[in-house]
Chains A and B, each alone.
Chain A
């Protein structure tokens, strides 16, 4: 009896010693693994995504089937207008299947293949954010590790990411606004890892639908000097950006005959885009609630789409649109600093 108790005690002591000796999880390594997990693991599950805007909240519920490395189908369950619609993604190509209007909107985004830019931006993220471990938790029935991304300049937690302990797949993600409130949340309600998907699941229907060519996004350039030269007008840029933000990409595109320069600034996690054109193409915001604002002395339009905000104004013959996930005050501050 005594011998058995002693053995149990020794085993318990050894186990606790082993646990104590286990190295603490490295949050930076976990983030790297999380980025790679999407193209490594196949799974099926249900996801809820919620955007908390200032005026209203938008929630989307969808079933997802993902076959690694890059084939995904999302079936929308809510809100009601989206029920039955789905999106099939094959790498950088995406097919939005609109069941209600019998049409498929085909879009392509070459930036999704840009591994060099992804690595650069991950470096920028680590430069501007401190990754720390949060408490472990359960998400969708899976044990998860939590990593907090704290902005090095403001000390604020900007994102909280919960990773599957086993696969490091992102199971939950919360983005916080500067006030500390949740601005956006993505969460798996359920998940199971499987590769057993019928091939037809990812095949795009070829009959019964009208296919519409949506927007094609070419590979952006990180040579912004060259991009700005092709704009055809004297481009402007912000003199103020939040700490850690750098210009990271840009392109020039023709939208309805209007040559538009797009410059993207980011700190590796948050980003802001400045669009400008010299043709005076006005903004059509008929699908949104527009509020008046001021950019310096100029009248501006301000609108929100979930956690994204847009400010549009005109100055000195140029039309500007600033889009980002920053606060209204931050956006107007950046807008007011745009100069030659």
Chain B
């Protein structure tokens, strides 16, 4: 029996395999104890590394902390911050109200266990995507991403290009 490579196991762990590969690895591990053990070992190493990283983040060396605090204490507030200091209460109250509202409405989209909601548009788009191989099903209706103020963002949205002046001709 062929065993899974370390790379396959790591990709599987991070959910980076395509569905077929993912299914194949899952199925293989169901019947192969050696690979399952290897996977569990990889998993525990990853967990250890994560725990170590968390620990590391928590404890900065005391000299570094002292240096940071010294910088903070000695820094004079910039002119603009002194000017805006007196309007702080006027800003703070509406900001606090906005945060409270955002928290209320934001969390109302969470499920009972705090599970994030999934936009209906995602299901509609995913249905159309899987439909791509059905003849005469090239749906050219309203593009939801362009119509809605925000795109369907159930996947991680990654900013790739910062906005700068656009020069090419894009007008119809």
Q: Do A and B bind each other?
A: yes
Contacts from A to B (Cβ < 8 Å): 31, 34-35, 47, 49, 51, 58, 60, 62-63, 74-77, 79, 81-82, 84-87, 96-99, 101-102, 104-107, 109-112, 114, 117-118, 120-122, 125, 159, 161, 170, 173, 184, 186, 200, 203, 205-221, 223, 226-227, 229-230, 249-258, 260, 262, 264, 266, 268-269, 271, 273, 275, 279-285, 287-288, 303, 305-308, 310, 312, 321, 323-324
B contact residues around A306 at 8 Å (CB): 141-142
Do B160 and A287 touch across chains, with their CB atoms under 8 A apart? no
A-B contact pairs, 8 of them (CB 8 A): A75-B172, A76-B143, A207-B167, A208-B163, A211-B160, A217-B130, A223-B23, A252-B19
- Considering only residues 99-136 of chain B, those with a C-beta below 8 Å from chain A are 109-113, 115-136
Q: Of B54-62, B69-77, B151-159, which binds chain A?
A: B151-159
Between B19, B144, B164, the greatest number of chain A beta carbons within 10 A of the residue's beta carbon is seen for B19
Do B172 and A229 touch across chains, with their CB atoms under 8 A apart? no
B contact residues around A79 at 8 Å (CB): 142
- Say yes or no: A58-B142 contact (C-beta < 8 A), given A212-B158, A255-B154: yes
Query: Considering only CB atoms, which chain A residue lies closest to B161 in the complex?
Result: A211
Residue in contact with A280 in the complex, picked from B113, B160, B166, CB distance below 8 Å: B113
- Chain B residue total in the interface (Cβ 8 A): 71
Q: How far is the CB of A198 from chain B (nearest CB, A)?
A: 10
B contact residues around A112 at 8 Å (CB): 132-133
Do B155 and A255 touch across chains, with their CB atoms under 8 A apart? yes
Residue in contact with A281 in the complex, picked from B116, B137, B152, B160, CB distance below 8 Å: B116
A contact residues around B129 at 8 Å (CB): 109, 111, 215, 217
Do B166 and A211 touch across chains, with their CB atoms under 8 A apart? no
Do A284 and B119 touch across chains, with their CB atoms under 8 A apart? yes
A contact residues around B167 at 8 Å (CB): 207-208
Residue B78, interface by CB 8 Å: no
Do A255 and B18 touch across chains, with their CB atoms under 8 A apart? no
Residue B94, interface by CB 8 Å: no
3 nearest CB pairs, A to B: A208-B166, A226-B23, A284-B117
B contact residues around A217 at 8 Å (CB): 126, 129-130
Q: How far is the CB of B155 from chain A (nearest CB, A)?
A: 5
Do B135 and A35 touch across chains, with their CB atoms under 8 A apart? yes
- Say yes or no: A230-B163 contact (C-beta < 8 A), given A51-B142, A86-B172, A282-B109: no
